[in-house]
Structure 1
Amino acid sequence: PVLCTIQNDDTRLRSVYRRFLRLSAFIVFPLMIGLAAVAHPMIIVLLKEQWAFAATLLSIICFSMMWYPVHAINLNLLQVKGRSDLFLKLEIWKKCIGVAILCITVPMGLIAMCVGSIFTSLISLGINTYYTGKLIQVGFLKQMGDLMPTLFYSLSMGAVVYATVNIIPGERLQLIAGIAAGIAYFAIITRLTKSQDLRELLAFIKERK
């Protein structure tokens, strides 16, 4: 609805659209990568030892699903611009690609299928951002440039969490320490680097209040 009110003002639409992308990634990327890093102790604590195999699958799927808000916002832009024809065309192409990758990976097992979902997500990202670039000149490279700082913060946070989990004994302690380390590291690094996304998120929360 916010984008629809400015659909004919491309300059303002680009600015608001890129802000939405950055804020969405700033929230979702660290959550998904953090979840991937603590997947093993979390699965053991919540579902017990017999579900331990699911931890690897969950970790892989997190790297696929972290791109979901980027997909959603890109597709929303097509609707904002009244291009439901492109929306349908893209969905058909992406479903065909997804089914093809699924058919290739099914014989290889569950882990290969989950890895295949990452490739499907990245290919879909390229397809979605192509038309966004055509409509408002915010294509794949610009979007990745906007998201790169958050991606760096999140991946480095994930490495810290993973290391923390692997040096502490006991799944409950691993889970608690991993979450605490992730939150502390992300908060510190975004403040030390004076993250624009952090400032915008805090401003957005203040506006909502």
Structure 2
Amino acid sequence: MPERSLKDKTAKGLLWGGINNGAMQLLNLIFGIITSRILNDTDYGMVGMLSVFSLIAGSLQESGFTAALVNKKDIRHEDYNAVFWFCSGVSLALYLILFFCAPLIAGFYNQPVLVPLARYSFLGFLIASLGISHSAYLFRNLMVKQKALTSIIALTVSGIAGVVLALTGFSYWGIATQSIVYVAAVNLCYLYFSPWRPTWNINFRPLKGMIGFSSKLLVTNIFTHINNNLFSIILGRYYSEREVGQFNQANKWNLMGHSLISGMVNSVALPVLRQVSDDTGRQQRVFQKMLRFTAFMSFPAMLGLSLVAPELITIAITDKWLPSAHILQLLAVGGAFIPVTNLYTNLIISKGKSNIFMWNTIAQGMVQLITMYLLYPYGIHTMLAVYVAVNIAWLGVWHYFVWREIRLGFFHALKDIFSFGIIAAAVMAGVAFITRPIENIYLLALAKILSAAALYIIILWASGSVTFKESLQYLLKKKA
């Protein structure tokens, strides 16, 4: 019965995670298309230069306490309250530091206009700090439906605000405002859905039991954000804001793609893997099942995005963004492996090994930083190709640590991952070949999408894929 209960909870969480992320990406797509048609690559480039600072500040304010609260066996009001007040205080201090450092940031990029824009944009992470404990409560208790509704509401409100501001000529100020409106709406929804409330009885002693675990996640998250934003930093320093804008546009579409799968899996992975962490055999079975499902979803979605990128970008946001389509094709190949890597890191965190998570992420980030710095004179596409290759190859390093924890053999994992990857790659290559004669861009995009989807489903059905049939049965049962 416990096995069945966990399976049902996981399936329900994945379903709501899918609804959440599907709705999020659809809304992102709609509002992104509208604003991208109104604004230009320079507008996106200006905001993109600041993104890494906001993300690092966001990691510092959160300090890894969300995962620490989820991993804690016995939890009390005092734990959430200590995290709330600590994160709020740290966030205020960070904002003041960045406020006065804004001229230095603008000087690094040689863009004086970034001074007021930075001081305004950084308000976002200050507001976000107020919702960390509420978010952890929803996450720990697998309240995926509530988090899904939160995301949908916040994206709708902020998307409308972004479009209105773009239409009224606010350019990059509108993009910054859209982000601030989003985090404010998220916090209000978290406050509504979560029964937990902060109190004025401030006591930081509960943090002592979490600080060793969370501090390593903090360092890890900082390096993850640096790693994910290397191009924005390097391009902003050595290239024009237009090239930064083209890259950020491509990266936005890539993020929409792999976040759909990552968000779905991440909504349940850590809590579920944590529940079975005391039984290695059971945890291995649960992990493998999640691994197969992640690969089953990720490879066709992301390789399909790479396949249709030129048509998609041209149709959606006009050919002024066509250079970003070629960048997107490379990013999407690497993006296919990101949800898989995220699942590996969730397993490591569920075992309480935040030190492994930290050092391996730092090592990966340092390799990429050095490589990108050495390669920037050779152009964006060369840097991207090597960046993607390093990310894919590093999955083998993550697997080594997972093997040490649950003894999952390399070739067993390889079979789980690449059985879907090879099928998806073969399908996309075949579709690219057979659709070459089509000249009309709309027919070409439609033919690619329908042909790839049909071929992938037919091959999985014919091969007797258990993951595919179980997913289909669950969806049909829910509809019935």
AA paired with 2:389?
A: F
| Distance apart, 1:203 and its partner CA | 4.1
Residue in 2 that maps onto 1:106: 376
Residue in 2 that maps onto 1:166: 436
Gaps of 5+ in 1: none
Deviations 1:37-67, CA, capped at 9 Å, x for gaps: 1111112111222322222211111111110
Residue in 1 that maps onto 2:395: 125
Is 69-78 or 38-47 further displaced after alignment?
A: 38-47
Aligned-residue sequence identity (percent) comes to 25
Gaps of 5+ in 2: 1-270
1:58 aligned onto 2:322: no
For residue 451 of structure 2, the aligned residue among 176, 181, 189 is 181
1:24 aligned onto 2:294: yes
Q: Quick check: 2:461–2:469 contact (8 Å CA) kept in 1?
A: no
Q: Quick check: 2:432–2:448 contact (8 Å CA) kept in 1?
A: yes
1:134 aligned onto 2:429: no
Q: Quick check: 1:64–1:118 contact (8 Å CA) kept in 2?
A: yes
Scaled by the length of structure 1, the TM-score of the pair is 0.93
Q: Which fold has the larger relative contact order, with Cα–Cα distance below 8 Å and residues 6 or more apart in sequence?
A: 1
Q: Distance in 1 between matches of 2:357 and 2:477?
A: 32
Deviations 1:114-164, CA, capped at 9 Å, x for gaps: 102212212321221110011111254321121122012101111133124
AA paired with 2:324?
A: A
| Distance apart, 1:5 and its partner CA | 0.9
| Distance apart, 1:105 and its partner CA | 2.2
Q: Distance in 1 between matches of 2:434 and 2:449?
A: 9
Query: What is the RMSD of the two structures over their aligned residues, measured on CA atoms?
Result: 1.6
Q: Quick check: 2:309–2:328 contact (8 Å CA) kept in 1?
A: yes
Greater radius of gyration (CA): 2
Residue in 1 that maps onto 2:470: 200
Q: Distance in 1 between matches of 2:292 and 2:277?
A: 19
Equivalences, count:
209
Q: Distance in 2 between matches of 1:167 and 1:25?
A: 31
Q: Distance in 1 between matches of 2:466 and 2:361?
A: 33
Residue 3 of structure 1 aligns to a residue in which SS? helix
Scaled by the length of structure 2, the TM-score of the pair is 0.42
Deviations 1:45-102, CA, capped at 9 Å, x for gaps: 1122232222221111111111001111111111111111111111111111111221
Call closer, same or farther: CA 1:5–1:205 in 2, change over 3 Å. farther
Q: Distance in 2 between matches of 1:61 and 1:190?
A: 26
